[in-house]
Amino acid sequence: MEEKREIINRYRRLLRKSKPVLKGNDAKLIKRAFTLALEAHKDMRRKSGEPFIFHPLSVAEICVEEIGLGTTAIIAALIHDVVEDTDIELADIERMFGKKIAKIVDGLTKVSGVFEYGTSQQAENFRKMLFTLSEDVRVILIKLADRLHNMRTLESMPRNKQLKIASETIYLYAPLAHRLGLNAIKTELEDLYLRFTDGAVYNEINNKIDESKATRNKFIKQFVAPIKEELDRLKVDYEIKGRPKSIFSIYNKMRKQNIPYEEVYDLFAIRIIIDSPLEQEKSFCWQVYSIVTDYYTPNPDRLRDWISTPKANGYESLHTTVMAKNGHWVEVQIRTKRMDEIAEKGYAAHWKYKDSISNQESNLEKWLVRVRETLEKQDTTALEFVDDFRGNLFTEEVFVFTPRGELKTLPAGATALDFAFDIHTDIGAKCIGAKVNQKLVPINHALKNGDQIEILTSSKQKPNDDWLRFVVTQKAKAKIKDLLKEAKRKLADEGKEVLQRKMKQLKIDSTNQVFEAMRTFFNVNSQLDLHYAVATGRIGLSELKRFKEYKPESPRPKVEEIRREGEPHARKPHEDILLIGEDMDVVEYKLAKCCTPIPGDEVFGFVTMNEGIKIHRTNCTNAPELLSNHGHRVIKAKWTSQHEVAFLTGLKVVGTDRVGLINDVSKIISEELKVNMSSIAFRSNQGIFDGEIMLYVNDTRHLDLLIKKLEKVEGVVKVSRFDSATMSRPQ
């Protein structure tokens, strides 16, 4: 009874919040959708134990309140899980609510079935959802609302599911929210990702932000006092907000710059929002900038003018970083009410201003056109597709010009070759170089803001594999792949005829089983690759003779066979035990080289194709990619009680140089704490030293003790563990 009352209360709250967007028959349609969802999910519960209907109601509420969507999205959000979880089919949805809503629900429904080797259900689901993006952006916006609610309620999920869902979020959904201009949602998704993958760091930063709240508020009050006086004279409505940077962005700065919280110099930003007429927006923003810089000295390298050239997601604002009277840098963001709404609510807010201003819309529309081009290329695997799509979610851009002065926006890191393909495929395919600001440069020259580029072509030029390393835009990558595939296909057709002749000559049958064995023997992925290898001479008559004598080995054991109960990892006596899988068995494993886990680290197991189970730290830089694209190959892993056994890890030591310092450091390591070192390398430059020490420790507590002791050595400024970010690919 209590639950029924709560469901009705939540439904009424949704209707209250929807009221401003409802027209004519809308309330009836929403009621019909709610009734359908209530009936369909009546016996279902979420992992937390609450009725499942709470989830679609919350998603619909996020769509209205936090994204600013209307009735169509509310209905789709209410019934988005119905087709997947019950007997109701898409045809029923179409009959009840029309084609448009059925199409959105289809985009939100997961793909079912078995997937080919080398791909994953997650990637297929991403691809299906993104295919509908080009037709109706609401699919992605509702999916983001769905993901946000799942992240807010992730507490009740098992640990391996938490890691998988959080990693997908940081890998694809947070960049998507950023690209669609949903700043508030992007920030919350990033913070929640950190909370569930590295709770200790999240809590530490969160506590420090809370502790400094009173001091921060006092400082903001003093900082804005003189600015307020001047703004009052402008006779314009304004609002000033002071807010700390998000936990995730502080964490990112700490990690990238390898600094503690206290050294992150712009921990918060001041936002000045003015209410000005559309035609005077620019001049008012610069007037406010002038007022701020009258009182505080700006950092000339930190001025960002996104009013004259908005970001690709439509974001407009004027940013400057100024020096406050207490010696702290403060970021000041200046924008109008319209700009602020677009910055927070992104794509959905554009519709409100669509008629009055076109420039921001066009940037988003341009991006959607690029997405549609990506989506038309259906010959890539789902994993390649997701990877390519992520490449479209660039956060930074460069603004460059054609010889005639036309402005082009490209992602940061774009080269002259990217620019050539952006103009036209034929120009890209024949590009031999470029003139950037009248100077001759090669095709891999990286472009900078304000460059003016003229492309040089030659009819003899042909694309090669190296080109894929030079380009960053999706358009260029896709076109180069197409051109290379076309060239490869022509050669492969010739190779096919040659192979058939040689197989006849050697009396080898042309059956599917033979070709499969041949692909395994020559280590190629497809029939096309096999024909290509023949055409290029890598596979000749002598290689085919060797194949004829080859006897296939028995197939590799499957994951289930690797994980036979009680099969031990070859351990030394008293070694820590790593328990793996749902049943927490002791099985064989290897420690990943990309993040070198040690006991006490939070870890997960990943089933590799050829090397059994590998153990990664949950905050390994490769974790989001592994968990996002191959969540089905992730298994639980945790250390049991700690025993004395040595694990190799690395420490970075930085400080001011003095005689005897290395001796003091090595004394603490080898004599006081009896730790074995495998290597030590110190460099000194102008009185500053930095060193890297590889040593054997028992667990994270042992390592923390060692770091604390080393930090007390005279001259040592900072000691930190090697971060996995210093290494790249998963090992």
84 flagged as catalytic: yes
Identify the pLDDT of residue 247: 94
388 flagged as catalytic: no
State how far the Cα of 424 lies from the Cα of 403, in Å rounded to an integer.
15
Beta bridge partners of 336: 274
> CB–CB of 605/581 below 8 Å?
yes
Q: What is the pLDDT of residues 218-243, one digit of tens each?
A: 888 999 999 998 998 888 899 998 88
Residue of 39, 84, 426, 466 marked active site: 84
> CB–CB of 70/88 below 8 Å?
no
Of all residues in the chain, the percent with pLDDT exceeding 90 is 23
> CB–CB of 393/176 below 8 Å?
yes
Sign of the alpha-carbon torsion through 613, 614, 617, 623: negative
Which range has the top average pLDDT, 99-108, 190-199, 642-651? 190-199
Q: What is the pLDDT of residues 602-653, one digit of tens each?
A: 888 888 877 778 888 888 888 888 888 777 777 777 776 544 456 778 888 8
Please compute the mean of the pLDDT values over residues 413-421 and round it to a whole number. 93
Range of lowest pLDDT (392-396, 432-436, 464-468, 654-658): 392-396
Q: What is the pLDDT of residues 451-478, one digit of tens each?
A: 999 999 999 888 988 898 889 887 888 8
Which range has the top average pLDDT, 1-15, 185-199, 563-577, 629-643? 185-199
CB atoms within 10 A of CB 83: 21
Can you say whether residue 581 is alpha, beta or left, with left for phi > 0 and alpha for psi between -120 and 50 degrees? Answer: left
Q: What is the mean pLDDT of the chain?
A: 81
| Full strand arrangement of the beta sheet holding 590-591 | 578-580, 634-639, 603-607, 613-617, 590-591
Length of the chain: 731
Identify the pLDDT of residue 579: 65
> CB–CB of 699/636 below 8 Å?
no
Identify the pLDDT of residue 134: 62
> CB–CB of 449/410 below 8 Å?
no
Identify the pLDDT of residue 271: 93
Structural domains for the chain:
2-200 (1.10.3210.10), 205-357 (3.30.460.10), 362-473 (3.10.20.30), 482-547 (no CATH), 559-638 (no CATH), 647-726 (3.30.70.260)
Residue of 26, 50, 81, 85 marked active site: 85
Which element (helix H / strand E) includes 244?
strand 238-244
Which range has the top average pLDDT, 51-55, 242-246, 501-505? 51-55
Higher-confidence residue: 555 or 477? Answer: 477
- pLDDT of residue 558 exceeding 50, the answer is no
Of all residues in the chain, the percent with pLDDT exceeding 70 is 83
> CB–CB of 76/104 below 8 Å?
yes
